[in-house]
Chains A and B, each alone.
Chain A
Amino acid sequence: MSTTTPDYTIRTNYTDNLEEMRAAHKVLLEVPFTPSEPQRGYNMRSLHIDLTNLKVTEKKVTQEMVDTFVGGRGFGLWHLWNATTPTTKWNDPENEIVISPGPIAGITQYPGTGKSIVVAISPLTDIPIDCNVGGYYGPLLKFCGFDALELQGKADREVVILIDGPRGVIRIEEAPLEPADSHICSEIFTHMYADGPADLKNVSVVSAGKGSDHSLIGCLNFSFYDAKRKAARLKQAGRGGVGTVFRDKKLKALVVRGPVIKADLNHVADRARIQKVGSVINKEIHDLDAQQCNMKRQGTAHLVEVMDAYDLLPVKNFQYGNHPDTKNIASWVWDKRFTQGIPDGCWYGCTMSCSKGADGHVVKTGPYKGDIVTVDGPEYENAAGLAANCGIFDPDWLLEVNFYCDTYGVDTISYGTLCAFAMECWQRGILNAERTGGLDLSWGNAESQMEILHQIARGEGFGLIAGQGIRKMKQIFAERGWGDLKLMTDIGMEVKGLEYSQYQSKESLAQQGGYALTNKGPQHDEAWLIFMDMVNKHLPTFEAKAEALHYFPLFRTWFGLHGLCKLPWNDIEPANNAEQAEPAKVPEHVHNYCEIASGVTGLEVTKEKIIEQSEKVYNFQRVFNLRRGYGRREHDWPPYRSVGPVTVEEYESRAERYDKQMLEEIGVDPAGKPVEEKIAITRKYREDRYRKLCDAVYKRRGWTTDGVPTMETITKLGIAFPEVVELVQKNGG
């Protein structure tokens, strides 16, 4: 018996006109630099590029900077703080995009170690955003000799910035002809700057597509060359509009060409120490992944049916938590659609290998109709947000919208959530065909979801409104008299201006805080506490929830300081994890992170040190928000849809649960009461509990009742710089 393996290298070729495009390039600036390899994870220098004045400057990374901010997100925030003023707008030239990989990034002996963090003032939130992204750019940047890259100013024409480590050259070139869309320009620039086929894997491209030109939800695509597929694949720095900032600077692409990757380019302090824990977790993944999360075959898409089963999958703009048609977008569908059996790590040595790809997708709509492409994903967030949350349960449409979001440089999470909001606005009569330019936004209308996305890319029609994000959509709809602002505030799933990621938090008070008490806006990478709170019932008191909302955001912040992926922490667990005292923390893996951080830097890192390092940066970011005029209690208030039932239909969908809560916890007999009254009683109770949660969390974090870090806290953490002190005192800290 024989089996046929599909040819996963078949896709549309976009490099035919490469020489013509190269010939159109004009070198605007070329400067030499001395490449270096990091020692113990650091080069102790960063790179600043001024696009307005075409100036390249090296900056020293001081030991004080390392001690306080570590790297990654910490370096990004510190550079951004120094580059901007309290009134800098996202599209002012001084706003920066900072990319920093962190000291551990680039090791190859432990899974999930190729990340970099992107920081900028967000067009959506007006405060710093941070995105943790895979792909090769960050590690290769570091192996050229830089711990961070600051991009400031604005070019006057479309440019590409090349950092060529082996040649010791930084070049800014006018790049007029290449399409901006990422699946094309990543491919073209990879081939354009690689020194032959064997060098393709040493080139990485950062880009954003046309969707970033006309929206505030632009994302950045970081490429990694997939040698098996012979394709430049993409990972996204998704949140907060960093792609929008990128395109506003007239950046077509960043290209880095690094050295051939070897096992110890970081020149770590103790390689054997890293190898020891690396070999243990690699065996765990090999032996246990298939019985646990099956990341190697399904990636995070394994969660789709799990979330549905626990009533946590967002359906129809977070109104409901499950749907009978979830089976159509569940993990078993993706298990078949993803090409199996080839390495899918987004950095060398990642045995978790969860960057799954669906090959051979024939594009159905838009400018690339008929092309054959590889779709990176879908991951859980895309399946939940673009599909279930919009009432669309069709895997082919999900691949289509996933592909176009990526290549257009549009954040799939914000796009899914804002489409869901628009569809509910349609359901409730706030939108109609006249107001959408003829688009029917009924639940499940995939064609309309696609058309809005194409409109965003073309910069026209209703897409221009949708691309502003939910906060601005609400304002526009209200100003035009289309709907009640109070209702839209209740159902528009954003906090701080950022759209929610894709988990139902209604029945978990801790996760309501996990979303709304974040520094950057509601992204689950700070805290995911739903099981611990709602299912396990391990957080019965406000104090217990506050402790979790202290520990987990800090622990998870640490990944972003060091260039790490969160997934190998807890999407695989050791065989004896159940026997540990605090299994939810996966203590053995926490130990591993202490070992690799110590092994790389030579600084002895303990589990207490992890929290200490993060706490400095986390509190600094909170103060950064204060500096921007935000960062207080009023900015941590969630939309009621994330807290409880807004509408009669929602209440009735979980009436048994809500009635029971009313009787047993609120002490009110629901019998005979109209639903509207029960909604009001439930709302008062739940909002009061949220306020009490804030009290407890602020206290645990060492903040005032208004959510401001106290003088005692910033002094203890060693971040009492003069401007920080001034801001804290001015805000009552």
Chain B
Amino acid sequence: MGEPSGAPEMVPVVDRPGRIVVNGDPLDWREGMTVRDVLKAKNYIFPLVITTVNGTLIPRGSYDVAVVPSGADVKVVHLISGG
């Protein structure tokens, strides 16, 4: 058994217009889509999340109004909880 090889780092790919990438996975986009809409679409209900859109931090209080542009790279970082 040799050294751990590791898995390749995930690179977000927007495979066609009208999509965004959320935590590395593609998601259908629509005009006016907000961060809250993205969280709903992904069923991300955990409250302790940190969201960035194209690298910009979105304050939690702005999730209902922050609009996600087409092709955006959205990262929703879930903090650790439980136990």
Q: Which residues of A contact B (CB under 8 A)?
A: 291-293, 300, 303, 305-307, 309-310, 380-381, 501, 503, 524-525, 528-529, 531-532, 535-538, 540-544, 546, 552, 566, 570-571, 573, 577-579, 583-584, 586, 665, 691-693, 695-696, 699, 705
Subset of 27 A-B contacts with CB under 8 Å:
A293-B48, A300-B82, A303-B81, A303-B82, A305-B45, A306-B81, A381-B83, A501-B83, A531-B46, A531-B79, A531-B80, A535-B23, A535-B44, A536-B75, A537-B10, A540-B9, A540-B10, A541-B4, A542-B7, A546-B4, A573-B79, A578-B57, A578-B59, A583-B79, A584-B80, A586-B79, A695-B3
Give CA–CA (A692, B82) in the complex, Å.
27
State whether the Cβ of B78 lies closer than 8 Å to any Cβ in chain A: yes
* C-alpha spacing A540/B6, complex, angstroms: 8
The 3 closest A-B pairs by CB, nearest first: A541-B6, A531-B78, A542-B4
Contact check, A584 vs B79: say whether CB atoms are below 8 A apart: yes
A293-B47, A552-B80 provided; 12 other pairs, C-beta below 8 A? A293-B48, A306-B45, A306-B81, A528-B83, A531-B79, A541-B6, A542-B4, A543-B6, A579-B57, A584-B77, A665-B7, A695-B3
Interface residues on chain B, size class: 20 to 34
Cβ-defined partner of A583 (8 Å) among B4, B50, B76, B83: B50
Contact at A691–B77, with CB atoms within 8 Å? Answer: no
Residues in B neighbouring A705, C-beta threshold 8 A:
1
CB pair A692–B4 under 8 Å, yes or no, is: yes
- Please name the residue on chain A nearest to B52 by beta carbon: A578
Complex Cα–Cα for A536 and B47 (A): 14
A538 touching B82 in the complex, CB below 8 Å, given contacts A306-B46, A579-B57, A691-B1? no
Cβ-defined contact, B23 with A536, below 8 A: yes
B8 CB to nearest A CB, Å: 7
Chain A proximity mask over B39-83: 1 for CB below 8 Å, otherwise 0: 000011111101000000101100000000000000111111111
- A529 B80 Cβ-Cβ under 8 A: yes
A540:B8 contact, CB within 8 angstroms? yes
Query: DSSP class of A's interface residues: helix, strand, loop or mixed?
Result: helix
Residues of B within 8 A of A381 (CB): 83
Q: A531-B78, A537-B24 in contact; A542/B50 too (CB < 8 A)?
A: no
Distance in Å: Cβ of A571 to nearest Cβ of chain B: 6
Q: In the complex where A503-B82, A528-B82, A540-B8 touch, is A583 in contact with B43 (Cβ < 8 A)? A: no
- Are A293 and B7 interface neighbours, CB within 8 A? no
CB atoms of B81 and A571 under 8 A apart: yes
C-alpha spacing A696/B7, complex, angstroms: 13
Contacts of B81 in A (CB 8 A): 293, 303, 306, 528, 531, 570-571
* Residue in chain B with minimal CB distance to A380: B82
CB distance from B58 to the nearest CB of A (A): 9
Asked if A309 and B79 sit within 8 Å, CB to CB, the answer is: no
What are the residues of chain A within 8 A of B45 when measuring CB–CB?
305-306, 309
B61 to chain A, nearest CB (A): 9
Shortest C-beta distance, A81 to chain B (Å), equals: 27
Residues of A within 8 A of B75 (CB): 536
Shortest distance between the CB of B81 and any CB in chain A (Å):
6
Residue of B nearest to A692 (CB): B4
Q: Shortest beta-carbon distance, B74 to chain A, in Å?
A: 12
A266 to chain B, nearest CB (A): 27
By CB atoms of chain A within 10 A, which of B6, B8, B23, B83 has the most?
B83
Chain B residue nearest to A691 in the complex (CB): B1
Please, what's the 1-or-0 string for B14-47, where 1 marks a CB less than 8 Å from any CB in chain A?
Answer: 0000000001100000000000000000011111
Contacts A310-B46, A501-B83, A566-B83 hold; do A543 and B78 have CB atoms under 8 A apart? Answer: no
**What residue of chain A has the Cβ atom nearest to residue B24's Cβ?**
A537
CA distance A542 to B46 in the complex (A): 26
**Chain B residue at minimum C-beta to C-beta distance from A535:** B78
Within 8 Å CB of A692, what residues of B?
A: 1, 4-5
- Contact check: which of A503, A525, A570 meets B79 at CB < 8 Å? A570
Partner of B80, one of A291, A528, A542, A579: A528
Asked if A695 and B80 sit within 8 Å, CB to CB, the answer is no
User: With A306-B46, A541-B9 known to touch, is A536 a contact of B82 (CB < 8 Å)?
Assistant: no
